[in-house]
Structure 1
Amino acid sequence: MTKTRRIDYWRDPNAPKPTSRKASASVFVTNDDGHLLLLRRADNNLWTIPTGGVKKGETVADAGVRECREETGIEVEVTGLVGVFSTPDHVIVYMHGDKLDEVRQPINVCLRARVLGGALQPDPKESREVRWVDPSQLGDYEIQPAIRRRIDCGLECVEPYIE
């Protein structure tokens, strides 16, 4: 079976031109100790917050809750908005084997959420590892700049960030 690979470009003038735009939801989740929920993606080995595409028939909030449960095993409730991230500086290439599938310029709605239950459990198709991370330790994790921007806004912004 051929695996899908993801290649993220950030502020790269040599990045391929987007062929599509798609809405996605991500969730910024902290526990009672203030640690942030992170997972290591299976398709590019980078650390991220739970994120995924919004499916037909679901709301952005539903997508964020579903993606968090699928990728991490943690059940959450959406409590607010971190921001909307739609900069053309971020382009994602999806490869299926050696074949280019799509070049996407994402539109991401990043939601704040609180833990309702569950246990850390990676999904082998989507996440290699899942863990709670002290924000002071984020520098020790390889995080794509567009994702780090969402995380930083979740940590620092009082008002929702819109771009």
Structure 2
Amino acid sequence: MARRDFYDDPTAPKPNSLVPATTVVVPDDERRVLLIRRSDNGLWALPGGTMDVGESLPGTAVREVKEETGLDVEVVGIVGTFTDPRHVIAYDDGEVRQQFAICYEARIVGGTLMADGSEAKDARFFTVAELDGLNIHPSMLLRVTHYLGHPGEPHLG
């Protein structure tokens, strides 16, 4: 399903849903951050997705990282809450979501890095210097830069 992200855009459609979701910062030993290149819009993003009935949000984080990257992770902290109503996500089926995500930090405990193809075209680690000029949505860049610049201080927004 195609997706289009809007941020602080007066032409954005009005939201008609709010869905609990998670994103996950997964650093490697060099503090590079894992990003995926989304199949639905081509943008680089943190791994993550929506919570299913019957699972916890940290469980969603673990599942989504595994599905999108092949890595097994363990949640070790919270990067912050990201609920900015100026971030709207429109899908081609008519759903328009207001952003609602908790971003976690996780550590790798196993698995092999590989993009799944259906949700992620690519998956790799990036240094902070490599983020400059990367085709990444501002909401994702905010999460990564907050994590790197304010360790241990959750973003509340």
State the TM-score bracket (shorter-chain normalisation). over 0.9
For residue 7 of structure 2, the aligned residue among 7, 10, 21 is: 10
Q: Which segment drifts farther, 79-88 or 149-158? A: 149-158
Q: Distance in 2 between matches of 1:71 and 1:104?
A: 21
Q: What is the root-mean-square deviation of aligned Cα atoms in Å?
A: 0.9
1:20 aligns with 2:17: yes
Task: Measure, in 1, the Cα distance between the counterparts of 2:51 and 2:95.
Answer: 17
Please name the residue that 1:144 is paired with: 137
Higher strand share: 1
Q: Are 2:57 and 1:64 equivalent residues in the alignment?
A: no
Residue matched to 1:116: 109
Is the deviation greater in 35-44 or in 100-109? 100-109
The alignment's TM-score, normalised by the length of structure 1, stands at: 0.93
- The answer to whether the aligner puts 1:159 opposite 2:153 as a matched pair is yes
Distance in 1, matches of 2:131 and 2:82, equals 20
Instruction: Kindly state the Cα deviation for residue 132 of structure 1 after the two structures are TM-superposed.
Output: 1.1
Q: How does 1:70-109 map to 2 (within 5 A)?
A: 70-95=67-92, 100-109=93-102
For the residues of structure 2 that align with 1:15 and 1:63, how far apart are their CA atoms?
Answer: 28
In percent, how many aligned pairs have the same letter?
A: 40
CA drift of 1:45 comes to 0.3
Corresponding residue pairs, total = 156
C-alpha displacement at 1:159, in angstroms?
1.2
Shift of 1:77: 0.5
- Structure 1 residue 46 and structure 2 residue 43: aligned? yes
The normalised TM-score by structure 2 is 0.96
Structure 1 runs of 4+ aligned residues shifted over 3 Å read none
Unaligned residue ranges in structure 2 (runs of 5+): none
Counterpart residue identity of residue 125, structure 1: S
